[in-house]
């Protein structure tokens, strides 16, 4: 049984941009809830839109069980996990948000993430602790829900979370956020609240009301009894970042060891608010007449720097560079001091030639940071 997107297209009016993107790329449905395959997720973070109009294919219980039976354990993870699983996996909306968080975080943030889940402090995360994620992201979503037809909103909640109406939250509900918070900030702030909640009493209810997913089986085994240590958690996050970068790099390298500086500029300017990218590309072509190419190590190091953009921004403000342009040596030194990432001279020169519009070999800090924040979050602030 298949269901066309057009049948429920009006639900888009009640969805946030992230929800709309999840619904657009998801291809599976089980008991009314939508899921992405690993292939869908990779497409969602590397493509502007699905390559073809998809339909939500309904999974039977038997098909879902077969998919989960073939899910490898976490110690068998690799930087090709999502590509190897391809269509044989299910990822919920909550997990989609979690995976997006991973893609934008520095390695130093991995320990923070693990400690947030490890609510009892035993250096291991179990399935019940991980499922706090479901409640935290659901609660944040309720605060962002658009007003309107309650029936349509209920249908949307069913698609995203697997139930019709709100359940009791493990979070405190007093007061509204005064400023919008990212899902990462919400997670960091809210897990401490969960420590003092009735989560322990409700954990079995939460677990029993949700269908297992590829991620839950990968982390906690087919019976859900395994525990996740930090080393495996770190390796999973690092592998996911590497896998997405490899896919983006390989889509331009055509089997070569490098991509062109122009291709690097194309990738860098994707998902940003830059309207006229051609001016940046023309500027770069005139400034780098001889193509040398960007290696994958250089490519990865730059995106590791982007994941540390917040620390870099703070460092720039402390050194009072925020109000003026900076040169290549200053930029390279500041990146290393703030983030520990060493960028090659050629990579730094390429970045400057892309963004140095007036060709004075100085980088406009404010403009560069603004554009890169959009790129870091792949268009979703």
- pLDDT tens-digit map of 231-259: 999 999 999 999 999 999 999 998 899 99
Predicted confidence (pLDDT) per residue in 330-356, tens digit: 889 889 988 888 999 999 999 988 887
Residue-wise pLDDT tens digits, 172-231 = 444 444 445 666 666 666 555 554 455 445 555 556 667 899 999 999 999 999 999 999
Cα end-to-end distance, the chain, whole Å: 36
What does the pLDDT read at residue 174?
A: 41
> Can you give the pLDDT at residue 50?
85
Residue 323 has pLDDT above 70, yes or no: no
Residue owning tokens 């049984």: 1
β-pairing, 294-295 vs 28-30, is unpaired
Of the listed ranges 31-35, 185-189, 255-259, 373-377, the least confidently predicted one is 185-189
Q: In 3-state terms, what secondary structure has residue 6?
A: helix
Q: How far is CA 195 from CA 93, 140, 167, 192, in A?
A: 24, 18, 18, 5
pLDDT at 313: 82
Contact 194, 132 (CB under 8 A): yes
Looking at the predicted structure, is the pLDDT value of residue 8 above 70? no
- pLDDT tops 60 at residue 359: yes
Buried b (16+ CB within 10 A) or exposed e, 184-213: bebbbebbebbeebebeebbeebbeebbbb
d(CA 285, CA 64): 50
41-55, 252-266, 310-324: the lowest-pLDDT one? 310-324
Highest-scoring range by mean pLDDT, 138-152, 154-168, 303-317: 303-317
pLDDT on residue 168: 45
**Would you state the pLDDT for residue 320?**
63
Q: What is the 3-state secondary structure (H, E, C) of 262-285?
A: HHHHHHHHCCCCCCCHHHHHHHHH
Query: How confident is the model over 279-304, as a mean pLDDT?
Result: 85
pLDDT value, residue 143: 63
d(CA 347, CA 367): 19
Evaluate if residue 103 carries a pLDDT over 70. yes
| Between residues 370 and 102, the one the model is more confident about | 102
List residues bridging with 91 in a β-sheet.
36
Q: pLDDT band for position 374 (50/70/90)?
A: confident
Tokens of 3: 């269901």
Neighbour-count burial for 302-335, b at 16+ CB within 10 Å, e otherwise = bbbbbbbbbbbbebbeeeebeeebbebeebbebb
Mean pLDDT of the chain: 80
3-state secondary structure of 259: strand
264 against 13, higher pLDDT? 264
pLDDT at residue 300, as a whole number: 93
CA atoms of 232 and 239, how far apart (whole Å): 10
Q: Which phi and psi angles does 39 have, rounded to 5°? A: -65, -40
- Give the tokens for residue 323: 């109000």
Domain boundaries defined on the chain: 5-240, 254-376
166 band by pLDDT with thresholds 50, 70 and 90: very low
């Amino acid at each position: 049984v298949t269901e066309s997107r057009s049948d429920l297209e009006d639900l888009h009016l009640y969805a946030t941009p992230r929800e709309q993107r999840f619904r657009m790329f998801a291809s599976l449905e089980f008991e009314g809830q939508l899921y992405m395959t690993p292939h869908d997720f990779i497409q969602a973070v590397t493509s502007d839109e699905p390559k073809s109009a998809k339909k939500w294919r309904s999974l039977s219980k038997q098909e879902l069980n077969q998919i989960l039976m073939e899910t490898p354990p976490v110690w068998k993870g690799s930087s090709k996990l999502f590509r190897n699983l391809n269509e044989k996996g299910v990822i919920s909306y909550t997990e989609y948000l979690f995976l997006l968080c991973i893609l934008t975080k520095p390695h130093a943030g991995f320990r923070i993430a693990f400690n947030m889940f490890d609510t009892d402090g035993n250096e291991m995360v179990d399935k019940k602790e991980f499922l706090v994620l479901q409640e935290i992201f659901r609660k944040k979503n309720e605060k962002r829900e658009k007003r309107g037809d309650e029936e349509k909103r209920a249908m949307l909640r069913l698609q995203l979370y697997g139930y019709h109406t709100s359940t009791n939250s493990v979070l405190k509900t007093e007061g509204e956020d005064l400023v919008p918070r990212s899902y990462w900030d919400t997670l960091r702030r809210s897990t401490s609240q969960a420590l003092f909640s009735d989560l322990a009493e409700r954990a079995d209810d939460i677990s029993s009301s949700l269908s297992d997913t590829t991620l839950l089986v990968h982390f906690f085994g087919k019976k859900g009894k395994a525990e996740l240590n930090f080393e495996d958690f770190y390796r999973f996050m690092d592998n996911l970042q590497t896998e997405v970068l490899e896919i983006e790099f390989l889509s331009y390298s055509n089997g070569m060891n490098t991509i062109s500086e122009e291709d690097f500029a194309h990738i860098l300017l994707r998902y940003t608010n830059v309207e006229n990218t051609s001016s940046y590309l023309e500027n770069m072509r005139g400034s780098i007449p001889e193509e040398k190419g960007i290696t994958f190590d250089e490519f990865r190091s730059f995106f590791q720097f982007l994941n540390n953009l917040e620390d870099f921004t703070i460092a720039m403000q402390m050194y009072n560079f925020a109000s003026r342009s900076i040169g290549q040596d200053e930029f390279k030194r500041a990146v290393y001091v703030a983030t520990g990432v060493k960028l090659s001279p050629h990579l730094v020169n390429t970045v400057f030639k892309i963004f140095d519009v007036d060709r004075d070999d100085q980088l406009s800090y404010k403009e560069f940071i603004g554009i890169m924040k959009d790129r870091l979050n792949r268009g979703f602030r």
